[in-house]
Chain A
Amino acid sequence: EAGVTQFPSHSVIEKGQTVTLRCDPISGHDNLYWYRRVMGKEIKFLLHFVKESKQDESGMPNNRFLAERTGGTYSTLKVQPAELEDSGVYFCASSLHRQGISEKLFFGSGTQLSVL
């Protein structure tokens, strides 16, 4: 069974440009989460989809970030325009059931975003 897949694995862009990150969850997983780790800091929650609906987007830093999950399958996270402080690793995770005690939460390997 394929795991959570993220694309690209690395992205280097200039300040002011737009970048779109993609996450393909495990097939059949209704719950999809985005997290971000800024250099040297904690991994922080960004948002949670249940199918195509945003269940919780309280962690989204500002309106330069837009997440979508059309059709309830893969998700995209767009940053427009990118700023230097957006650099970090963006993780996606999926689960069959709500996160609860996190036992069945599967993470992707992340997208390393560098904004120059």
Chain B
Amino acid sequence: GNSVTQMEGPVTLSEEAFLTINCTYTATGYPSLFWYVQYPGEGLQLLLKATKADDKGSNKGFEATYRKETTSFHLEKGSVQVSDSAVYFCALSMNRDDKIIFGKGTRLHILP
């Protein structure tokens, strides 16, 4: 079946460090790919998305590129801030399907 695998956390970085959170997927067909973020005490929010191969999603300094050849959608940010501390979820959805399939989430701690 369709699934998402993302790197285990927690990930702890210093402010202004470079961030990569790895995500790979397994899907029959061509999914749309997403990164969701959950800040402390809040609901899940869509951070960015990509709907086809080679698309790059970006938001708030974060980027992820849909790589069909490696079935990956790694999340990157060049310089993290303390306010980026949150749990990040990689996810996929098949077109015309009403379910989102999530990864296990990666907790990110940014130290000042």
User: A residues touching B (Cβ–Cβ < 8 Å)?
Assistant: 3-4, 31, 33, 35, 37, 40-45, 48, 55-56, 59, 91, 93, 98-103, 105-110
Contact = CB atoms under 8 A, between A and B. Distances in A.
A101 B96 CA distance: 8
30 contacts: A31-B98, A35-B100, A35-B102, A37-B102, A37-B105, A40-B104, A41-B104, A42-B4, A42-B102, A42-B105, A43-B44, A43-B89, A44-B102, A45-B99, A48-B99, A59-B99, A91-B43, A99-B97, A100-B93, A101-B49, A101-B51, A101-B93, A102-B32, A102-B46, A102-B91, A103-B49, A105-B46, A106-B43, A107-B43, A109-B43
B43 A3 contact: yes
Given A102-B32, A103-B46, 20 more contacts: A35-B100, A40-B104, A42-B101, A42-B104, A42-B105, A43-B89, A43-B102, A44-B102, A56-B98, A56-B99, A59-B99, A99-B98, A100-B96, A101-B51, A102-B34, A102-B46, A107-B43, A107-B44, A109-B42, A110-B43
B45 interface: yes
Contacts of B100: 35, 43, 45, 99, 102, 105
B95 interface: yes
**In this complex, which of B91, B99, B102, B105 has the most chain A Cβ atoms within 10 angstroms of its Cβ?**
B99
B96 to A, nearest CB: 7
4 closest A-B pairs by beta carbon, nearest first, are A107-B43, A107-B44, A43-B102, A99-B98
Given A4-B43, A40-B104, A91-B43, A99 B49 contact: no
A47 to B, nearest CB: 10
A106 B105 CA distance: 18
A3 B42 CA distance: 11
Contacts of A101: 32, 49, 51, 93, 95
Contacts of A105: 46, 100
B31 to A, nearest CB: 10
B41 interface: yes
B98 A48 contact: yes
B44 A91 contact: yes
